[in-house]
């Protein structure tokens, strides 16, 4: 395969301005050369030319926080009553849909009974279509902690260390910890801290020594602080980041993986009874979502924190796997992020969160030719 995508407008994912009348030379699935069509090297002129004028090209979108085993339309309690085969079969349809809407890579940050690991093997083997995947296996929560119904519950540093090693043994690239309560678990306070600093530090030590990363779900600032002091690599959600925790995050070099649509879901279209009930239950949180989102983006940008983003699709009954990264990017822009920066976060930055920055995330020489047309990929 040796061809040139010629004449499109390229957004390369690095945050640079769009290049009009661009050319991307692709050879054996990798980007050989990229630039202005008028500067195309003579070596590329033998390659087959595909005219993409009038179209936009951008790197495959990366979702750094997703749950592919759940459909995001029913509650996880309802889904857990299904037999495992139905969960697997629906998840097979979910990963196909994720790819079809332009997300070519995901990080599953809370799976179900290692179904996501099997899906990844099936995708990599070519049995089913789906995105490239990084996975965390089961989330690790304190006994009764956030998402305990799908978690590996663990208490005390030794047990949390063992829980982390179990996920790595099963194939986890990242270990997911629950540092605070969460709204998808009824009756929890999202400000309340859960796993302790010592417990999280044990997981960090276990994961880093095996070359894996650690991510923590954290809304309240106590949990954010504990996670950062424990040395983890990313804070997921980070809803109530403040001056002190933002400074600490910068100092520790951790990433903030925002999930804006969780608190501001798309409520257009018909809602099921389960979804309506969830809207009622979570309404007080929705009301402040825009203000929180704006504050979070302003603070993170002002401090120069490294930002990633994800949809949390599948994480609750209002987080459907349907153009969900488009909504995430749209909300970033609505909350004050310049558009090219929002696209950089959803591509280049997320590649770094996934530790895949040498292969994907931007349209640059040497990387995979993971380039979007309106739908699908080359």
Residues within the interface to Zn ion (CB under 5 A): 312, 315
Q: Which residues contact 89 (CB under 8 A, 6 or more apart)?
A: none
Task: Please say which residue, 8 or 111, places its beta carbon nearer to Zn ion.
Answer: 111
Task: Please say which residue, 116 or 312, places its beta carbon nearer to Zn ion.
Answer: 312
Strands of 132-135's sheet in order across: 61-66, 103-108, 132-135
SS3 label, residue 87? helix
User: Could you give phi then psi for residue 321, rounded to 5 degrees?
Assistant: -80, 75
Task: Please say which residue, 7 or 137, places its beta carbon nearer to Zn ion.
Answer: 137
Q: What distance in Å separates the CA atoms of residue 185 and residue 189, rounded to the nearest whole number?
A: 9
State both tokens at 358.
């040498």
Q: How far is the CB of 24 from Zn ion (least distance, A)?
A: 34
Task: Please say which residue, 180 or 372, places its beta carbon nearer to Zn ion.
Answer: 180
SS3 label, residue 266? coil
First to last CA, the chain: 11
Q: How far is the CB of 26 from Zn ion (least distance, A)?
A: 34
Task: Please say which residue, 25 or 138, places its beta carbon nearer to Zn ion.
Answer: 138
Q: How far is the CB of 118 from Zn ion (least distance, A)?
A: 20
Task: Please say which residue, 26 or 262, places its beta carbon nearer to Zn ion.
Answer: 262
Task: Please say which residue, 109 or 197, places its beta carbon nearer to Zn ion.
Answer: 109
Q: How far is the CB of 66 from Zn ion (least distance, A)?
A: 8
- Is residue 122 within 8 Å of 113, Cβ to Cβ? no
State both tokens at 291.
């203000």
Strands of 255-258's sheet in order across: 152-153, 140-141, 174-178, 213-218, 234-237, 255-258, 306-309
- Is residue 42 within 8 Å of 84, Cβ to Cβ? no
Q: How far is the CB of 315 from Zn ion (least distance, A)?
A: 4
Q: How far is the CB of 176 from Zn ion (least distance, A)?
A: 8
Task: Please say which residue, 239 or 372, places its beta carbon nearer to Zn ion.
Answer: 239
> CB atoms < 10 A from the CB of 375, how many?
9
Q: Which residues contact 277 (CB under 8 A, 6 or more apart)?
A: none
Task: Please say which residue, 199 or 312, places its beta carbon nearer to Zn ion.
Answer: 312
- Of the candidates 261, 198, 192, 184, the residue with the CA atom closest to the CA atom of residue 224: 192
Q: How far is the CB of 110 from Zn ion (least distance, A)?
A: 5
Q: How far is CA 344 from CA 258, 293, 338, in A?
A: 14, 18, 10
Ranked by CB distance to Zn ion, the top (closest) residue is: 315
Q: How far is the CB of 76 from Zn ion (least distance, A)?
A: 11
Q: How far is the CB of 259 from Zn ion (least distance, A)?
A: 7
State both tokens at 134.
């990084």
Q: How far is CA 340 from CA 2, 62, 299, 346, in A?
A: 29, 15, 18, 10
């Amino acid at each position: 395969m040796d061809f040139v995508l010629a004449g499109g407008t390229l957004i390369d994912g690095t945050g640079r301005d769009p290049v009009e009348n661009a050319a991307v030379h692709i050879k054996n699935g990798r980007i050989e050369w990229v630039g202005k069509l008028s500067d195309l090297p003579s070596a590329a002129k033998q390659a087959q030319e595909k005219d993409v004028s009038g179209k936009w090209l951008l790197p495959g979108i990366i979702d750094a926080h997703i749950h592919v085993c759940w459909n995001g339309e029913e509650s996880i309690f309802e889904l857990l009553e299904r037999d495992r085969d139905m969960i697997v079969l629906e998840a097979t349809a979910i990963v196909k849909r994720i790819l079809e809407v332009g997300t070519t890579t995901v990080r599953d940050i809370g799976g179900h009974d290692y179904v996501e690991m099997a899906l990844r093997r099936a995708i990599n083997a070519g049995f089913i279509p789906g995105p490239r995947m990084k996975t965390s296996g089961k989330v690790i929560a304190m006994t009764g902690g956030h998402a305990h119904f799908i978690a590996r519950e663990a208490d005390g540093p030794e047990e949390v260390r063992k829980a982390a090693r179990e996920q790595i043994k099963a194939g986890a690239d990242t270990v997911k910890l629950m540092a605070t309560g969460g709204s998808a678990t009824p009756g929890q306070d999202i400000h309340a801290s859960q796993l302790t600093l010592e417990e999280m530090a044990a997981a960090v030590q276990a994961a880093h020594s095996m070359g894996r990363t650690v991510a923590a779900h954290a809304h309240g600032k106590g949990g954010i602080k504990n996670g950062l002091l424990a040395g983890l690599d990313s804070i997921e959600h980070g809803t109530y980041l403040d001056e002190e925790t933002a400074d600490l995050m910068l100092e520790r070099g951790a990433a903030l993986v925002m999930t804006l649509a969780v608190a501001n879901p798309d409520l257009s279209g018909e809602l099921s009874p389960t979804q309506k009930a969830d809207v009622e239950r979570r309404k007080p949180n929705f009301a402040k979502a825009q203000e929180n989102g704006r504050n979070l983006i302003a603070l993170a940008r002002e401090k120069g924190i490294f930002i990633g983003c994800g949809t949390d699709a599948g994480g609750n009954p209002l987080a459907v796997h349907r153009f969900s990264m488009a909504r995430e990017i749209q909300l970033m822009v609505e909350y004050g992020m310049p558009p090219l920066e929002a696209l950089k976060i959803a591509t280049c930055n997320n590649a770094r969160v996934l530790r895949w920055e040498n292969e994907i995330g931007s349209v640059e020489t040497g990387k995979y030719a993971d380039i979007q047309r309106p739908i699908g990929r080359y």
